[in-house]
Structure 1
Amino acid sequence: MAAASQLTSGASLLHNNLASSSTGYVASIHNSLNAGQGKLLLHALASGQSKDGPEVVQATSIRYLETLHGPVLVVTSTNGTQVYTEDASALIFFLPLSDQAGPDSIRYHQAACFVPTTQHMVIGTSKGTIWPVSAVAAGQYVQLHESAPSSPTAEVSDLCFSPIADAVVSVHNNGDLRLWQVSEDAPYTNSDVVANLCQAPVRVVSLGAQLAVADGPGSIFILDATTRELKAEVTAHGRWLSAAVSREDIGLLVTVGEDTVLNVWQVDPSEGIVSLHHSTVVADKLLCGVALHGSGASVVAYDSDQLYHVNF
């Protein structure tokens, strides 16, 4: 068993349900069916202190984005997107849903990434669209144009910015991968599609000249970021792969799954060759979130208030 700290409540069963900032905060989501009981869970790694964050209503993803004016906490939900200060003590910006759900569907936002070249925050939606938001300075957030995919697709599952491709990359619940050309103020253009790449993508991350896609059934797909050629497919977990996070500067990809295991993968930044760097059983629980920090990683598990710490 890994060493652990205690959060103020249990983590919900969401993909990628843990995020870390560059200065040592981690955050997770506790959803609840009872009004007023859903909340953010905050933990300061340096002090070891945990606290409740703001209330949330059916949150769908959590992410720290490293903007040019410092880290911000981005929470997407069935209400839209809330952007908080790093410690979640203040709400900076709110992006509402662009339309109402029909009788047989639920509208929501899902996932976020930051484009440093334009200082845009980009949000995914359940319509398969993306929303760029200008974030040129603290407190100066401006909603830009919703950008539509080039062909019908499913909900956005995750997205990232690829510096090599100078594009936002999204993965969708039907297994599509899409490339979006960045624009200063006009809608982003969906310039390329890799249809049916995988079954149920959980995360997409940039790794140098490569893109890594973590697929729910347990595989990792490595693609050339420029050509989108498939370079490698790795069987990573014996049960559902629930979360992934990367260190692009050193080519590390860390995954956790419902098989109780944390795996650390080394990905060659130019060739895309993958090797297993470290593997450990974290706890006898369904792992649902992983975040990196200086000495290793922190992990959360479904319905557990423990924040596990793993060194590697």
Structure 2
Amino acid sequence: MAAADTERYRKEPSIPLRSSSAALYNNLSVLRLPGGRLAGLSAVHGPSLSLLSAAADGLGFSHRQLQAKEGGMAVSTSLLTQAAWCVLPARVLLVLTSQRGIQMYESDGSIMVYWHALDVAEHSPARAVFARGIAAAGERFICVGTSSGLVLVFDIPPKGTNVMLSEVLEQHRDAITDIAAELGQAPAGAGDLVSADDTGTLCVWSTGEEFALLSKIPAFGCSCSSVKLWNGIVAAGYGNGQIRLYEAATGLPRAEVNAHARWIYALDVAPQTGKLLSGAEDSFVHVWKLSRNPDTGEVAIEHRHAECVTDTQVCGARFCDPEGNSFAVTGYDLSEIFRYGRA
């Protein structure tokens, strides 16, 4: 880890939630529109999603509690495991995962576009069944992970409800924890999608009409809770508090940092600057800077800022703009979203 000048962030007014945040990996989603404008925030609690949409004047948020329906007109609910906005060139969808399946909504949560049920009958009653890990991939795909280790690839039409399950990726043997797509400019030969599972195994994929496995990074005895992909660098956060960097093209390790004292719950990357945000059970949020030497290809990670969110088990952390000048944080049993901006 290289030394670097620190950056200062200051706390800004927080945003109240109608319910608290559950202790789930990556339990905060941020919708950024072209131009960097913050358009929405969301956090999961039980069977519901707190959905906050930015006001037209940019001075506040409208609140909505989305009670996820399970399968068409059914009114029964199950526990949600994650929610994320997926931004594709032609449309933006809000994707929810749960113990029963995968739900896709229009970006404001007003209309359900698609529902995919998990086949609970195929699993042992002793084994939990759920979906988790959500990412937009390529020009028209959304990828979602499952507790059986499958990655489901959905082909999304430019409009309408004709969503198709186009492919199933079967390299993982354990529950998927997170999926991420390339957020920078991938070098030639590097993958543009990465998936992680409960054992810490990572798979790097190239996307297209058919998805291809490029590299498989073996587990080392610790769960990987969150992954990001930027400029051909895989950033992975683990249960032992480490952040590890790998080459997306080869899977070779490039750097390792003892970033947190406890389990990492969330990572995020600012695509325009390569800043990396990490949040963990130890009540700390850190801002790092990723870089790659254009001549040697060497990868570096530099620490830029540390923020203690007092008495809070951080479960979600996201940048609110593509440069990484502001970020938001959720915490277990916390009924507000904390915000921080550059001082």
TM-score, normalised via structure 2 length:
0.82
Deviation at residue 132 of structure 1 after TM alignment: 0.6
Percent identity, aligned pairs only, is 21
Aligned match of 1:22: 32
Number of positions where the alignment pairs a residue of Structure 1 with one of Structure 2: 301
Match of 1:6 in 2: 16
Q: Which residue of 2 aligns with 1:41?
A: 50
Structure 1 segment 183-202 matched on structure 2, within 5 A: 183-184=208-209, 188-197=211-220, 199-202=222-225
Q: Which blocks of at least 5 consecutive residues in structure 1 are unaligned?
A: 32-37
Q: Which residue of 1 aligns with 2:306?
A: 279
Q: Which has the higher contact order (CA 8 A, sep 6+)?
A: 2
CA–CA distance in structure 1, aligned partners of residues 221 and 135 of structure 2: 21
Q: Does 1:306 align with 2:331?
A: no
2:25 aligned counterpart, secondary structure:
coil
Match of 1:34 in 2: none
Q: Which residues of 2 match residues 170-209 of structure 1 at below 5 A?
A: 170-184=195-209, 188-197=211-220, 199-209=222-232
| Corresponding residue of 1:50 | 63
The Cα of 1:265 is off from its aligned counterpart by 0.6
Instruction: Give me the whole-angstrom Cα distance separating, in 1, the residues matched to 2:230 and 2:156.
Output: 24
Deviation at 1:167, TM superposition (A): 4.2
Does 2:157 correspond to 1:136?
A: yes
Of the three residues 209, 213, 235, the one matched with 2:236 is 213
Give secondary structure in 2 for the equivalent of 1:273.
Answer: strand
Q: Note the C-alpha offset of 1:198.
A: 5.8
Q: Is the 8 A contact 1:289 1:300 kept in 2?
A: yes
Could you report, residue by residue, the CA deviation over 1:56-80 in whole angstroms, capped at 9, with x for unpaired residues? Answer: 5211122111112232211111111
Q: Does 1:105 align with 2:127?
A: yes
Gaps of 5+ in 2: 1-9, 34-38, 69-76
Q: Deviations over 1:95-116 (max 9, x none)?
A: 2214522121122111111122
Cα distance in structure 2, aligned partners of 1:138 and 1:220:
38
What is the rounded CA distance, in whole Å, between the counterparts of 1:72 and 1:211 in structure 2? Answer: 25
Q: Distance in 2 between matches of 1:191 and 1:278?
A: 34
Q: Distance in 1 between matches of 2:299 and 2:341?
A: 25
Distance 1:194 1:178 in 2: 6
What's the offset of the Cα at 1:5? 1.5
Q: Please name the residue that 2:276 is paired with.
A: 253
Q: Tell me the CA shift for residue 48 of structure 1.
A: 2.6
Counterparts of 1:148 and 1:220 in 2: how far apart (Å)? 25
Contact 1:177 1:197 in 2 (8 A): no
**1:153 aligned residue (173, 186, 199):** 173
Q: CA separation in 1, counterparts of 2:339 and 2:90?
A: 28
Aligned-residue offset at 1:181: 4.0
The corresponding residue for 1:236 is: 259
TM-score, structure 1 as length reference: 0.90
Residues 257-279 of structure 1: CA distance to partner in whole angstroms, max 9, x if unpaired?
12211111100044320111111
> Residues 32-89 of structure 1, C-alpha deviation per residue, up to 9 Å, x if partnerless?
xxxxxx2100112432332212235211122111112232211111111111122211
SS in 1 for 2:127: coil
Contact (CA 8 Å) 1:131, 1:146: kept in 2 or not? yes
- Match of 2:320, as an amino acid? H
1:169 aligns with 2:194: yes
